[in-house]
């Protein structure tokens, strides 16, 4: 009986992994752009998230 190969999606390439991690990082403007924010608003929101995170420490 022949072996069955995994028929799921192929493994993600490094650029895909990097993009995914940016989209899941609230402190990265890409996170906010992927949720519909404009370029200037996404940068501002990322800065604010970074400042809030730094205040927690």
In sequence order, what are the residues at sequence separation of 6 or more whose Cβ sits closer than 8 angstroms to the Cβ of residue 34?
A: 23
Radius of gyration of the chain measured on its C-alpha atoms: 17
Could you state, in order of their start, the residue ranges of all structural domains in the chain?
A: 23-47
- What would the 3-class secondary structure string for 2-42 be? CCCCCCCCCCCCHHHHHHHHHHCCCCCHHHHHCCCCCHHHH
CB 12 within 8 A of CB 20: yes
pTM of the predicted protein model:
0.66
pLDDT tens per residue, range 1-57: 555 555 676 788 888 877 888 889 999 999 999 999 999 999 999 999 999 999 976
């Amino acid at each position: 009986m022949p072996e069955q190969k995994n028929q799921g999606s192929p493994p993600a390439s490094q650029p895909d992994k990097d993009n995914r991690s940016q989209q899941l990082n609230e402190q990265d403007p890409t996170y906010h752009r992927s949720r519909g924010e404009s370029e200037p608003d996404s940068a501002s929101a990322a800065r604010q998230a970074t400042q809030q995170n730094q205040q927690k420490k």
